[in-house]
Structure 1
Amino acid sequence: MNRFILTIALVTLPGSASAQDVLIRNATVHTATAQGTLQNADVLVRHGRIAAIGHGLNGAGATVVDAAGKPLTPALFAGINDIGVEEVSGESTTVDSHIGLAGGKDMSVRPEFDVTTAYNPESVLIPVARVEGFGWTMVSANPGSGGSLIGGQGGAFRFDGSLDPIGGRVLFVTLGGDSANLTGGSRAGEWMILDQLIDEARGRIPADSKFALLTPAGRVAMAKYFGGGGRVAVTIQRASDIRRLLRWAKQRHVRIALVGASEGWEVASEIAAAKVPVFVDALVDLPADFDQIGATMQNAARLRAAGVDVGFYLSSDASHYARKLRQLAGNAVANGMRWDDALAGLTRVPAQAFGLENEVGSIAVGRRADLALWTGDPLDVANTASQLWLDGRAVPMVSRQSELRDRYLHRDESPLPPAYSR
């Protein structure tokens, strides 16, 4: 164990930001692929990519880390949130996740709004997530902003300091009781507005019509998501709404993902048949509103048993508490979901849902070396991430929270006042 601690300390020293060569020996490797879990296996990283997986690998020139049989997983997915575009939710100048009403209009539908251009890779929330083993996230444009059920476009970011997202954009939409008040107070108005937006994007409604809702740029943006284009992430809860959305998406050739789906288990076979991924909050088990009367903590297990690809997200405080996603996955296991499927919900499933399976979400030869080493079962919150690697580069396991903890735990040993760390 001392050798393990020593090698970790060496690779986490500040230094070059370039990719590193690393050989992780004797790990329980949860690949999140068809290979499943490999016992006492080695993972060799060359130039930031996984070069080999096996036993007794030759790591000449690479930094060696003895995992001592501990679990090694892909870097985890931090959910659908506002990390990087929100610092303090109560301070509007630090929140860039939505666009407000413009021009005095009753509703401002701006699908061209791209929240990724506001992303801050130096957000203090990023190290907080990284020290818990999370390496990437989906940054969302909040639907409901601007008085519209269309939030705008978001994208996936790795927590490696990059300014730009990876992969394509995702359009964020809210349907059901949460957005009915944005379309005249009736759910029927939501489908009316969505169909009108499609007609506008396809030129069936003139741009100069007094009924038009989209700008010229908005028409171009909307057109990208219809007829089999980019992914549309729809926050929706009620079973009947989900059934109607599945039908609507099939008729209009829209690639959707469901977010929330508290009553998804009631229509699980239909979701599976449509091959639609679902992101659930596995701790939702009470009817917070009339759209969630059928909520149950067995939702994830029942969906997966029906053949649905299930990922996880937090329905509240998603940015500041991304670390709780491990708890959500663990609770899904406690309520009937297979362990491997729960880990996939934090790794492979979101990567596939957002078209990033060749970049993140699995341990396979040729993939980015985005890895997390754990003290024990990663779905048990009693365990922690010992080390996170991004592109094979060991990330310092330090956050603002850990710095504050250390300052005040050892303040009597410092000659400086408590307000100073150095």
Structure 2
Amino acid sequence: MKKTVLLIVLSFLLTKTYAQEYFPNNESIPNKTMNFTAFTNARIYVTPTQVIEKGTLLIQNGKVIAAGTTVEIPKNCTTINLDGKSIYPSFIDLYTSFGVEKPKRNMERNPMYDTKRTGYYWNESIRSEVNAFENFAYDQAKAEELLKAGFGVVGTHVQDGIARGSGTLIALNNFDASKQLLSDRVSNHFGFTKSATTNQAYPSSLMGMMALLRQMYFDLDWYKKGNSATKDLSLEALTNNEKLVQIFATEDKLNSLRAAKIAKEFGLNYVLKGSGNEFERLDEIKKTNSRFIIPINFPVAYDVSDPNQADQMELKDLRFWNQAPTNLKVLSDNGIIFALTTDKLKKIEDFRTNLLKAIKYGFDKTKALEALTTIPAAILGKSDQMGTLKIGSLANFVVTSGEIFDEKTTLYENWVQGNKYVVNDITSKDVRGTYDLTINNEKFIWKIDGEVAAPKSDISTKDSKKVKSKLTISDNWLSTVIKSNDTTKTTFTRLIGYIDNTENLLGKAILPDGTETKWSAVKTSPFVKTVEAIKTEDQFKIMPTTFPNVAYGNTKKLEAQTMLFKNATVWTNEKEGILQETDVLIKNGKIAAIGKNISDASATIVDAKGKHLTSGIIDEHSHIAISNGVNEGGHNSSAEVTIQDVVNSEDINIYRDLAGGVTISQLLHGSANPIGGRSAIVKWKWGASPEEMLYKDQPGFIKFALGENVKQANWGITNPTRFPQTRMGVEQVFIDYFQRAKEYDLAWKKYNTSGKKGKAPRVDLDLQTIAEILNSERFISCHSYVQSEILMLMNVADKFNFKVNTFTHILEGYKVADKMKAHGVGASTFSDWWAYKFEVNDAIPFNGPIMHNAGLVVAYNSDDAEMSRRLNQEAAKAVKYGDVSEEEAWKFVTLNPAKLLRIDNKVGSIKVGKDGDVVLWNNNPLSIYAKAEKTVIEGVVYYDSKKDEENRVTIAKERNDLISQLLQEKNKGMITQEPKKTEKVEYHCDTMEE
């Protein structure tokens, strides 16, 4: 064994190259030592699972030479006895901005639509050419914070933009600058944030950022194939960085799913930097098969002592404070591979505190060590260089007094590349305990506690009066300042002494009058550290995660059931009309039977006598449940973006819609530009993931807009710069884009029919989408008010040989109903909204019935989070204002929007074979007294009024329990923060992200 170790050592020495040995050496005598350092008698964690007891670690020139129990110590070796101490690999943090300054935000007001750069990608949030090492400056102070926390290596990059460029790998070597740069380009970074350096208007939304990423990857592929006539330094950099670790900062569980979606589309393998709320969507997170970088910046407890402030807190925020410390355990227990990061911590010293808290809440210690050592090293592809103490690895390790994740353990030293950084003096003697102190014949009781390297002094007289004192220890010299209890004047006694024997301390005292004398302290009892371990019975109860993890979330994922509604008044929306005392059977998610005396032994029977059963309400125009922006208004056409990317399954408005009988909504882009984004048709499956909510095989729709919004008349900016700014300019936008899309489509058809010979056209997601309209593969829902513009768009459509599918709002539709009928367009309008802006002045409440009587398919929509909960009452207004029959009025919010959305073959009426999307009402659904008792989608009960009442009681109790926990935290003296009310943005057509 000894011969083997020596052969390894010699081999290592012969093959060793000395990095940057050509650097000038200003020492008077050049240092050419080749000395070894041996750490003996230590518990050595070579890896998190390979532990050597009473072993020796041998290092030389910044690397590990050997680790074992039979290591032969060379002659020219410094030996350090670490009997009773432990050695662990130093930690690795992959995600920091260490030594890299974040660009300052551009404060220009007016939006810019073109780039000021030359030779780079057209969008300034694509900054892939940025290299962190080019602007890196080693931060000594920050390095010391990280070293004290146990870190030896950090990855760093510029945290700005969507494509952020390459990251660099830095050794926290405070002693040898020539060895700090381990790798200039080790990672390639992305994120869902616009660059701070640009005032380009695009992208302004999350869906715009996702579209930009897709376009970037298509452009990259096209560029790599040699199709571009010009050089693009941003795309060149992306090409050069393709083999690096691809790290995507998502900062939210749903964004992690979105990034994973893009990765799947383009065959990428992102490492996802998460946020700490991954446990809330665990199943979906697992399905990404991604590796993660997880922060542990747990929320500070809220001060809820003021009931008024406490009432402002949402349950989800109270609950997240309670559940967040379990995230690491949940991820680990479910086999999700992750590294840990200090990112988002206000103080690096909180890292250990939070990690120990996570361990108390069940996170395995070995897994914790792996997440800080072997896993980040593996993610970087550098397992042979760091993360372990195997032969050849960097000599990056920490020396501790015991188990590294024990509260009592002291971290003494952090060695990086063989250079020692002292965290706490390892030679310090432990003077903690209780002593009888004598100063100039005066007796005191002296209690010393705290940490070994930072002890605290507590002195009292024999009659138990406290005496203020401060104790410091350095190089085993003890120094104490004692303040007298004399109220007439402030005087001090100073003690100094060398610590030789911790049972008997002694030294020199300088009394207040300057007289010198002796002092002594005899230990009467040893120090016993009080560790407030969390006992099972004392630990805060962890609230169960719901789906979604907000108020009214489901305790488990809901499943379809066979349901038999008996003796209901059934509004079929079919030729059968309204059926009395009729049964409806829903089985396997479909309507299986309609009639009298139906039976099914497997069915749950619902007594519907005296109640009304209808198909679910369909809202053709909604903006709820959208994440981070309903408008991508940076360009006059944003056809490349899609709401399907940004469905927010956590929005409480989904539950409220269900309570109002809504089962399907079309989530539309806003009206900031003439050609908006693609829509998402969703079924409100409360508790499901965003992808599960999307209507399967849905037809493609896109939002167009006319009027004030698109020409920026009401944007509130002094000098609008984006075209168009007039109504005639809006028409020209449509003509220009349809012509370009037509030419684009022809170019691709020609290329494909030629066997893909020659230069391939560039994929343009914007024009590609508009071409789908020309090919009748996508349909327009157009925001509209004024009759002249309504006619204009139909004329443009006729010119390019397609049909407008739906005019939404369409408040002057009654003026041109005959022209709309001739064109074949439907109408989705409001019941009685008018005069809320100038172009609505001619709106009348008879608009819907007039269009209906003209033979148009007419629907009422909400366009509003509050109105969507009472669309049944909106439908009733067609009866009031136009003498429309109740049966036909009900179709305004059920069958007719289904027709407009081209899904009436599956939903919109109660018919055998259609989806089991039904609502049971306690009254005529058009009545203001009607309430939905059950809302069912594909045989799953997503809303039940009785369960809702039970939920209210459960929620109140949970809030009370959480507030009680928070009050206990404050009473313990824990740091708290002021309660914050979550400000919600309810999106409307014209809402723009800040």
TM-score scaled by structure 1?
A: 0.82
Gaps of 5+ in 2: 1-553, 713-721, 748-761, 966-994
Give the structure 1 partner of residue 42 of structure 2.
none
The amino acid of 1:288's aligned partner reads Y
The amino acid of 2:766's aligned partner reads G
The amino acid of 2:647's aligned partner reads Y
Give the structure 1 partner of residue 886 of structure 2.
339
1:261 and 2:810 are equivalent in the alignment: yes
For the 8 Å contact 2:624–2:651, the answer to whether it is kept is yes
Higher mean C-alpha deviation, range 71-80 or range 180-189:
180-189
> What is the alpha-carbon distance in structure 1 between the residues aligned to residue 813 and residue 930 of structure 2?
31
Of 568, 573, 577, which aligns to 1:27? 568
Give the structure 1 partner of residue 681 of structure 2.
156
Give the structure 2 partner of residue 361 of structure 1.
908
Matches within 5 A, 1:20-419: 20-86=561-627, 95-99=628-632, 101=634, 107=635, 109-144=637-672, 148-160=673-685, 161-164=688-691, 165-166=694-695, 167-181=698-712, 183-203=723-743, 216-252=764-800, 253-284=802-833, 286-315=834-863, 318-336=864-882, 337-397=884-944, 406=953, 416=960, 419=963
For the 8 Å contact 2:619–2:862, the answer to whether it is kept is no
TM superposition shift of 1:215:
7.5
For the 8 Å contact 2:573–2:910, the answer to whether it is kept is yes
The amino acid of 1:51's aligned partner reads A
Gaps of 5+ in 1: 1-12, 87-94, 102-106, 208-213
> What is the alpha-carbon distance in structure 2 between the residues aligned to residue 399 and residue 30 of structure 1?
23
TM superposition shift of 1:280:
0.7
Give the structure 2 partner of residue 92 of structure 1.
none
1:166-200 CA-to-partner distances (Å, cap 9, x unmatched) read 21221101112332336443211111110100111
TM superposition shift of 1:132:
1.4
> What is the alpha-carbon distance in structure 2 between the residues aligned to residue 65 and residue 112 of structure 1?
46
The amino acid of 2:665's aligned partner reads T
For the 8 Å contact 1:128–1:399, the answer to whether it is kept is no
> What is the alpha-carbon distance in structure 2 between the residues aligned to residue 404 and residue 256 of structure 1?
41
For the 8 Å contact 2:807–2:827, the answer to whether it is kept is yes
TM superposition shift of 1:400:
12
Give the structure 2 partner of residue 7 of structure 1.
none
Higher mean C-alpha deviation, range 43-52 or range 154-163:
154-163
Higher mean C-alpha deviation, range 251-260 or range 233-242:
251-260
Larger Rg, first or second structure (1 or 2): 2
> What is the SS of the residue equivalent to 1:138?
strand
TM superposition shift of 1:216:
1.4
The alpha-carbon distance between structure 1 residues 152 and 50, as it changes in their structure 2 partners (threshold 3 A), is same
The alpha-carbon distance between structure 1 residues 169 and 322, as it changes in their structure 2 partners (threshold 3 A), is same
The alpha-carbon distance between structure 1 residues 234 and 330, as it changes in their structure 2 partners (threshold 3 A), is same
> What is the alpha-carbon distance in structure 2 between the residues aligned to residue 393 and residue 223 of structure 1?
38
TM superposition shift of 1:312:
1.1
For the 8 Å contact 2:618–2:894, the answer to whether it is kept is yes
TM superposition shift of 1:61:
1.8
For the 8 Å contact 1:176–1:241, the answer to whether it is kept is yes
For the 8 Å contact 2:640–2:769, the answer to whether it is kept is yes
> What is the alpha-carbon distance in structure 2 between the residues aligned to residue 293 and residue 16 of structure 1?
47
Please report the RMSD computed on the Cα atoms of aligned residues, expressed in angstroms: 3.0
> What is the alpha-carbon distance in structure 2 between the residues aligned to residue 177 and residue 305 of structure 1?
29
> What is the alpha-carbon distance in structure 2 between the residues aligned to residue 42 and residue 341 of structure 1?
22
TM superposition shift of 1:158:
0.2
For the 8 Å contact 2:934–2:945, the answer to whether it is kept is no
Higher mean C-alpha deviation, range 127-136 or range 333-342:
333-342
For the 8 Å contact 1:131–1:399, the answer to whether it is kept is no
> What is the alpha-carbon distance in structure 2 between the residues aligned to residue 48 and residue 380 of structure 1?
28
For the 8 Å contact 1:78–1:129, the answer to whether it is kept is no
> What is the SS of the residue equivalent to 2:711?
helix
1:304-335 CA-to-partner distances (Å, cap 9, x unmatched) read 111111111224xx134411322221222211
For the 8 Å contact 2:859–2:891, the answer to whether it is kept is yes
> What is the SS of the residue equivalent to 1:224?
helix
TM superposition shift of 1:23:
1.0
The amino acid of 1:232's aligned partner reads I
> What is the alpha-carbon distance in structure 2 between the residues aligned to residue 273 and residue 376 of structure 1?
39
For the 8 Å contact 2:636–2:723, the answer to whether it is kept is no
The alpha-carbon distance between structure 1 residues 36 and 415, as it changes in their structure 2 partners (threshold 3 A), is closer
**Which structure would you say has the larger RCO, counting Cα contacts within 8 Å and 6 or more residues apart?**
1
Give % identity.
Answer: 24
> What is the SS of the residue equivalent to 1:112?
coil
Q: How many residues align?
A: 381
For the 8 Å contact 1:153–1:171, the answer to whether it is kept is yes
TM superposition shift of 1:64:
1.0
For the 8 Å contact 1:268–1:303, the answer to whether it is kept is yes
> What is the alpha-carbon distance in structure 2 between the residues aligned to residue 324 and residue 256 of structure 1?
25
TM superposition shift of 1:60:
2.3
> What is the alpha-carbon distance in structure 2 between the residues aligned to residue 113 and residue 356 of structure 1?
22
For the 8 Å contact 1:79–1:325, the answer to whether it is kept is no
The amino acid of 1:325's aligned partner reads L
> What is the alpha-carbon distance in structure 2 between the residues aligned to residue 356 and residue 162 of structure 1?
22
The amino acid of 1:119's aligned partner reads V
> What is the alpha-carbon distance in structure 2 between the residues aligned to residue 415 and residue 293 of structure 1?
47
The amino acid of 2:817's aligned partner reads A
For the 8 Å contact 1:84–1:125, the answer to whether it is kept is yes
1:182-237 CA-to-partner distances (Å, cap 9, x unmatched) read 64432111111101001111227999xxxxxx981211111011243321010011
> What is the alpha-carbon distance in structure 2 between the residues aligned to residue 415 and residue 163 of structure 1?
27
> What is the SS of the residue equivalent to 2:817?
helix
For the 8 Å contact 2:876–2:889, the answer to whether it is kept is yes
For the 8 Å contact 2:794–2:803, the answer to whether it is kept is no
